[in-house]
Amino acid sequence: MDLNYLWFGIVGFLFIGYFILDGFDFGVGMSLPFVTRNDQERRVVINTIGPIWDLNETWVIVGGASLFAAFPLWYATLFSGFYLALLLILASLILRGVSFEYRHKGHGAKWTGLFDTFIMIGSVVPALLWGVAFANIIQGVPIDADGNFTGNLLTLLNPYGLLGGVVTLALFFMHGLIYLALKTTGEIRERARSLATIVGLVAVPVGGGWLLWTVLQHVTIAHVGFIIAFAGLTALALVAAIIMVRLGRDGSAFIAMALTIAFALLTILSALFPNVMPSSTDPSYSLTIENASSSPYTLTVMTWVAAFAMPLVLAYQGWTFWVFRKRVTREMIPVS
């Protein structure tokens, strides 16, 4: 098998990892105004992701760098093309990241409130825009013969793209709420669970509609069976997550929600295959797994690197989650 295809899988894996991990960070950030009533509760909520948000966010950096190394033409077209969308994502991630560190180091409620707002905005914007970006990638965007994106920000704001954004927003919100149910106790947990059900009931029709739209856009391609299968699994896992939340089985609900996100990404990747950025200008200008990749030598080197590093990474990150496995309670937050 060609290494290009393996790397399509590895890059896909890195983004699935990113969306599962930072996805619940986004959801936790969005939930602040809904599940907390005072600063102590907000600190409980923020501390559920305190030790790990940084490693979660690192997945996007590694994903981006791996894209650069394995598919430089995809990286160049995507990042220069989706310029303003990525700028918004960057600004959000920067503000959100420093806010965790700064919010409790200041002077009074106004300061803390300001950084809580940054955490919320910094969570909503990327959660929405990642969906818009990926929906547009599979739908196809104007790309010329030299591989340059010739549209602008408005090109991305089409109904299918925007609906994709609403889907990721809803899924990450729900993912964060389920994570909170798993990591907190008492009232916060109860509020997170009820809200997760409501968001879930919105996510089902919205997500289902978008999946159906995706399938319909791709009915003519040979491997549409895969797309349908992954779309179906996405919907099943989402329904399972809602049921588990209702049953109070937080751990199972979290796994079901992680699977929902993984299957949604697999739906996207299978709809994309064997392209990586289809051109809506002319299909012959599309960037593909074959024509956008690095040389076989680079891919060989990177395969060895990934084969050596990834098991280690997964092992020590898994260990970290285990170290911080306890639920965060109010008693752990010192009165300030």
Site size toward another protein (CB under 8 A) is 70
Q: 140: left (phi > 0), else alpha (psi -120 to 50), else beta? A: left
Q: Is 149 helix (H, G, I), strand (E, B) or coil?
A: strand
Task: Look up residue 219 and give its two tokens.
Answer: 């009915």
Q: How many residues comprise the chain?
A: 336
CA dist 332 and 336 (Å) reads 12
Q: 327: left (phi > 0), else alpha (psi -120 to 50), else beta? A: beta
Residue from the set 208, 313, 329, 330 that interacts with another protein by CB under 8 A = 313
CA dist 28 and 33 (Å) reads 10
Q: Is residue 309 a contact residue for another protein (CB under 8 A)?
A: yes
Residue from the set 110, 284, 334, 335 that interacts with another protein by CB under 8 A = 334
CA dist 168 and 160 (Å) reads 13
Stretch 105-164 residues interacting with another protein (CB under 8 A): 105, 146-150
Beta-bridged to residue 149, according to DSSP, are: 143
From the list 31, 270, 247, the residue with the least C-alpha distance to 23 is: 31
Q: Is residue 327 a contact residue for another protein (CB under 8 A)?
A: no
Q: Is residue 97 a contact residue for another protein (CB under 8 A)?
A: yes
Q: Tell me whether residue 282 is exposed, middle or buried, using C-beta atoms within 10 angstroms of its C-beta: 0 to 12, 13 to 18, 19 or more.
A: exposed
CA dist 39 and 279 (Å) reads 49
Whether the Cβ atoms of residue 34 and residue 191 lie closer than 8 Å to each other: yes
Return the range that interacts with another protein (CB under 8 A); candidates 214-222, 233-241, 247-255, 318-326.
318-326
Q: Tell me whether residue 118 is exposed, middle or buried, using C-beta atoms within 10 angstroms of its C-beta: 0 to 12, 13 to 18, 19 or more.
A: buried
Site string for another protein, 66-95 (x = CB under 8 A): x-xxxxxx-xxxxxxx-xx-xx--xx-xxx
Nearby residues of 232 by Cβ (< 8 Å), 6 or more positions away: none
CA angle 233, 235, 239 (to 5 degrees): 115
Return the range that interacts with another protein (CB under 8 A); candidates 47-55, 131-139, 209-217, 246-254.
47-55
Q: Tell me the CA distances in angstroms from 292 to 3, 111, 218, 240, 331, one per residue in order.
A: 13, 47, 22, 38, 53
Q: Is residue 236 a contact residue for another protein (CB under 8 A)?
A: no
Return the range that interacts with another protein (CB under 8 A); candidates 96-104, 225-233, 265-273, 275-283.
96-104
Q: Is residue 297 a contact residue for another protein (CB under 8 A)?
A: yes
Q: Is residue 298 a contact residue for another protein (CB under 8 A)?
A: yes
Return the range that interacts with another protein (CB under 8 A); candidates 61-69, 180-188, 234-242, 260-268.
61-69
Nearer to another protein, 247 or 332 (CB): 332
Nearer to another protein, 202 or 323 (CB): 323
Nearer to another protein, 60 or 167 (CB): 60
Residue from the set 43, 175, 183, 191 that interacts with another protein by CB under 8 A = 43
Nearer to another protein, 248 or 311 (CB): 311
Nearer to another protein, 217 or 298 (CB): 298
Residues in contact with another protein by CB under 8 A are 43, 46-47, 50-52, 54-55, 57-58, 60-62, 64-66, 68-73, 75-81, 83-84, 86-87, 90-91, 93-95, 97-98, 100-105, 146-150, 294-295, 297-298, 301-302, 305-306, 309-310, 313, 316-317, 320, 323-324, 332-334
